[in-house]
Structure 1
Amino acid sequence: MTSAISHALSRRSLIRGGALLGAGAIAGLPLAGAALAQDASGRWPAVARMVGAYVDNRRVSGMVATMGFGQARADTIARGTKTFAGDDPVGPDSLFRIYSMTKPITGMAAMMCIDDGLMALDQPLYEIIPAFRTMRVQKRYDGPITADNLEPARRPITIRHLLTHTAGLAYGIIQSGPIREAYSRRGLVPGQVSRLELAQAIMGGTPTDSLADFAQGVAEMPLVYQPGTRWSYSVALDVMGRVIEVVSGQDFDAFLRQRIFDPAGMTSTWFRVPRGEAGRLTGNYFLMGGFPIPLDMPRNSVFLDEPAFPAGGAGLVSSPSDYDRFLRMLAGYGEIDGRRVMSEAAVRMGTRDLFPDTLATNGGFTSNGLTFGFGAGGLVGKGDAEGLYGWFGAAGTSGLVNMRRALRHNLMTQYMPAEAYPTQSEFPQAVARDAARLLQS
């Protein structure tokens, strides 16, 4: 990998996605009641301008935004094409790599297991996966993995810790030095990017061959923080996939299909895209010096292959219409189209702040000077942003719902790293401006 690519592809940006700005403006919006006009661009002019500017200036090949109130059908604004080289337009049924927007889905699956009595929020992880019973913690962050830099964990990792990224687990795309190298050697790589050799450098190696072995390997590694003390982005939601397998007795991907995707009518969300659906895939690009380089193209996408294991932290491909159904189900407190997918109690728990009471005073999740709580795999708004829940993806995607005001919105596009453009901050701001105008008219 050239030094220019290495510099541009910061590990933190690849999976974490961009920063959140302006989300607090959404929280003050009342629930929409009146039926809206037919032209989505006319209703959402700020969103339409933003989407149009990115596509017209060829910063992205295509972009799709969906916005909706309550249980009403989503408005869609779609511009551009699936790839720069083609003329096939993007739309609400196009397929996008959502990467870390997989995490809230896994988080809600965990809430269902808690609701079913299969596990408990503050249950020690070792009771489900015994390999996590005795954990060691680095004294110096990203320091050597040697006896003089390790100490025993002061408390066990819990299910709550996994859901909120406070377990102290590492992430190969975040860490540096010996622990990153150890994760790479052990195959603790929770995601795929491309068939290109560059992909191994991006993701930190070749993944191990099963979710069970992935969780076992993570348990063998030292923690980077004491459990329950700091928010630290990690492989926690990938480990949660294995937890769900153990407590439910089902393969993780089968659980998601049976309990969430099928009941919610999400027919276009997969860890592996069927070959017959390859024409719906968009192209993913790596931006080097602002120039898009093909990274994963539709007809030869790595997502057409069976993954090494279903990665609950970053493994899914979905469509704008499908992810809107997930957000609409949450906005309906577990119900969509008259069908209950989750209990209201499980949704309420998963979308509230679940940070442990052992969190250090400076140990929470902050972004651009704003402080948020964290729920089941996604941020939780505080103060003016109360009610907000959701997360972002490494290829520029965003998925948020305001539970208090029933305003849901997601943005789909494909470029890496996500922080190359400010789409993940501009989109919530544009939605807030348009929604405020709509609700005053």
Structure 2
Amino acid sequence: MVEKITPEEVGLSSERLGRINDFMIRYVDGGQAAGFVTLVARKGEIVFFDNYGYQDIDAKMPLANDTIFRIYSMTKPITSVGFMMLFERGLVRLEDPVSIYIPEFKNIKVLGKDGKRLNLDKEITIHNLLDHTAGLSYGGIEETKLPVDAYYDQANLFEPRIDLEEMVRRITTLPLAFQPGDKWHYSVATDVVGRLIELITDMPLIDYLREKVLDPLGMVDTDFCVPPGKRNRFSTLYGKVGEADLGVLDDAIGGDYFNVSLQSGGSGLVSTMPDYCRFAQMLLNRGEWGGMRFLGSKTVDYMIANHLSKSLLPINMGGPWHGFGFGLGFSVMLDVPLSGMMGSTGVHGWGGWANTHFWIDQIEELIGILMMQYIPSGTFPFTNDFRTAVYQAIID
């Protein structure tokens, strides 16, 4: 992991970084979150790494810097990086139709306005999967619900005892929400990318990710399951229950994480702050970490660039995200004032359903990571407050 030094050595104020806790503690003390872990790194150095609150409130178990969190959709950037390693080796092309590898995608239909299933105008490409323009969906997300989501809700795609092959087979039986490339819509597309990794490498997804990404980065606690020896470090999941802002939730995706077969490349990983910091630092370094090269620098640049035309903007996640585009696995800040957030043009990152979040600012050589466990995301402005607290600490 990058080493911790004084903030002033890299152009940040110690006093101002202390305001991160001022911003975040009020959510815990106000009964809106159990706790959080926050990290800030700049110019390859950790300058802030702290935690507050509980891993489990009832057990009075405090959070620790190595608490294990469900990172949900922060899995997507890891899977996308793993896939682009195959692209760099010439084993796959982004313009390839997905049906080359999964033939059932050739006959997938599009749900028309009248409920009829229409033929494809053009096939789904791998690029469509990576930038979420494939026409796939998620189901169950009320804020962005489409007519096609009724089919997704019935398919039980995240049944924990199925495997990724079966999940993707079920996806191929569902209609698309729109013709590939016509719109941006957040979806299970990265799960299909994970299945492509399995088919191209003839390896289970976790074995490939361990070999190419996780083990080389020293991400020792990042996995689809939590083994018995680490369960005492696994955070309880919280969220709104009835009228209460903070209640204990059963795991909503992927079962209990102790005995799960589904290796969801879009939402299935658990991780820790130290693990994810290594991954983020590798991206900030444009593909290099610890003397090892994971991706070419121009490949990283390509992934973190906006791939959406103006006609597909703004992206919509529970409402329009003005000022943002999307790359290959990451949101991308295109217009800072329009976004309503502090940052720099080109800031990229993503978050998870339980309000974990990370971003990388190449201009400021800055990483911010928030780890917590509160569903759903967007209920409270955790991420925006954390981002504001980080950026106001820059003094150079």
- Name the counterpart of 2:334: 382
Determine if contact 1:334/1:343 at 8 Å carries over to the other structure: yes
After the TM superposition, which residues 123-134 of structure 1 pair with which residues of structure 2 at under 5 Å, given as runs? 123-134=96-107
Partner secondary structure for residue 418 of structure 1: coil
For residue 401 of structure 1, report the CA deviation from its aligned partner: 0.8
Determine if contact 1:172/1:188 at 8 Å carries over to the other structure: no
- Name the counterpart of 1:291: 245
Partner secondary structure for residue 265 of structure 2: coil
After the TM superposition, which residues 70-219 of structure 1 pair with which residues of structure 2 at under 5 Å, given as runs? 70-140=43-113, 144=115, 149-174=116-141, 179-189=148-158, 206=159, 209-219=162-172
Deviations 1:67-124 (Å, cap 9, x if unpaired)? Answer: 1013213521211121112333212211111111111111111211111111111111
Equivalent residue letter for 1:49 = D
Determine if contact 1:111/1:376 at 8 Å carries over to the other structure: no
Does 1:261 find its partner at 2:211? no
Which runs of 5 or more structure 2 residues have no equivalent in the other structure?
Answer: 1-5, 337-343
Equivalent residue letter for 2:353 = A
Does 1:373 find its partner at 2:332? no
Using a 3 Å threshold, how does the CA distance of structure 1 residues 413 and 215 change in structure 2: closer, same or farther? same
Greater length-normalized contact order (CA 8 Å, ≥ 6 residues apart): 1
- Name the counterpart of 2:37: 64
Determine if contact 1:66/1:411 at 8 Å carries over to the other structure: yes
For residue 271 of structure 1, report the CA deviation from its aligned partner: 0.6
For residues 247 and 373 of structure 1, the distance between their equivalents in structure 2, rounded to whole angstroms, comes to 29
For residue 376 of structure 1, report the CA deviation from its aligned partner: 1.8
Partner secondary structure for residue 63 of structure 2: coil
Partner secondary structure for residue 35 of structure 1: helix
Partner secondary structure for residue 78 of structure 1: strand
Deviations 1:36-89 (Å, cap 9, x if unpaired)? Answer: 599x96351331211221222232121111010132135212111211123332
For residues 165 and 320 of structure 2, the distance between their equivalents in structure 1, rounded to whole angstroms, comes to 37
Which of these residues, 266, 272, 276, is aligned with residue 323 of structure 1? 276
Partner secondary structure for residue 410 of structure 1: strand
Equivalent residue letter for 1:244 = I
For residue 248 of structure 1, report the CA deviation from its aligned partner: 1.8
For residue 307 of structure 1, report the CA deviation from its aligned partner: 1.9
Determine if contact 1:71/1:336 at 8 Å carries over to the other structure: no
For residue 263 of structure 1, report the CA deviation from its aligned partner: 0.8
For residue 354 of structure 1, report the CA deviation from its aligned partner: 2.3
For residues 167 and 156 of structure 2, the distance between their equivalents in structure 1, rounded to whole angstroms, comes to 7
Deviations 1:224-258 (Å, cap 9, x if unpaired)? Answer: 01100111111101111101111122111111111
Determine if contact 1:118/1:248 at 8 Å carries over to the other structure: no
Equivalent residue letter for 1:373 = G
Deviations 1:331-378 (Å, cap 9, x if unpaired)? Answer: 1111122222222232222111223xxx57255415656232211222
Partner secondary structure for residue 118 of structure 2: strand
Which of these residues, 405, 417, 423, is aligned with residue 364 of structure 2? 405
- Name the counterpart of 2:382: 423
Determine if contact 1:94/1:280 at 8 Å carries over to the other structure: yes
Determine if contact 2:108/2:119 at 8 Å carries over to the other structure: yes
For residue 403 of structure 1, report the CA deviation from its aligned partner: 2.5
For residues 259 and 108 of structure 2, the distance between their equivalents in structure 1, rounded to whole angstroms, comes to 32
For residues 37 and 88 of structure 1, the distance between their equivalents in structure 2, rounded to whole angstroms, comes to 35
Equivalent residue letter for 1:35 = E
For residue 33 of structure 1, report the CA deviation from its aligned partner: 9.5
Partner secondary structure for residue 373 of structure 1: strand
For residues 227 and 154 of structure 1, the distance between their equivalents in structure 2, rounded to whole angstroms, comes to 8
- Name the counterpart of 1:12: none
Partner secondary structure for residue 200 of structure 2: helix
Query: TM-score, with normalisation over the residues of structure 1?
Result: 0.79
Partner secondary structure for residue 45 of structure 2: coil
Q: How many residues align?
A: 377
For residues 148 and 321 of structure 2, the distance between their equivalents in structure 1, rounded to whole angstroms, comes to 29
Partner secondary structure for residue 404 of structure 1: coil
After the TM superposition, which residues 348-367 of structure 1 pair with which residues of structure 2 at under 5 Å, given as runs? 348-355=301-308, 361-366=311-316
Determine if contact 1:156/1:227 at 8 Å carries over to the other structure: yes
Using a 3 Å threshold, how does the CA distance of structure 1 residues 37 and 333 change in structure 2: closer, same or farther? closer
Q: Which has the higher helix share?
A: 1
Partner secondary structure for residue 61 of structure 2: coil
Instruction: Please provide the CA RMSD for this pair.
Output: 2.5
Determine if contact 2:134/2:189 at 8 Å carries over to the other structure: yes
For residue 186 of structure 1, report the CA deviation from its aligned partner: 3.4
- Name the counterpart of 2:179: 226
For residues 230 and 37 of structure 1, the distance between their equivalents in structure 2, rounded to whole angstroms, comes to 41
Using a 3 Å threshold, how does the CA distance of structure 1 residues 239 and 74 change in structure 2: closer, same or farther? farther
Using a 3 Å threshold, how does the CA distance of structure 1 residues 330 and 74 change in structure 2: closer, same or farther? farther
For residues 97 and 423 of structure 1, the distance between their equivalents in structure 2, rounded to whole angstroms, comes to 17
The sequence identity of aligned pairs, in percent, is 32
Instruction: Tell which deviates more after alignment, 93-102 or 43-52.
Output: 43-52
For residues 403 and 129 of structure 1, the distance between their equivalents in structure 2, rounded to whole angstroms, comes to 36
Determine if contact 1:74/1:324 at 8 Å carries over to the other structure: no
Partner secondary structure for residue 50 of structure 2: strand
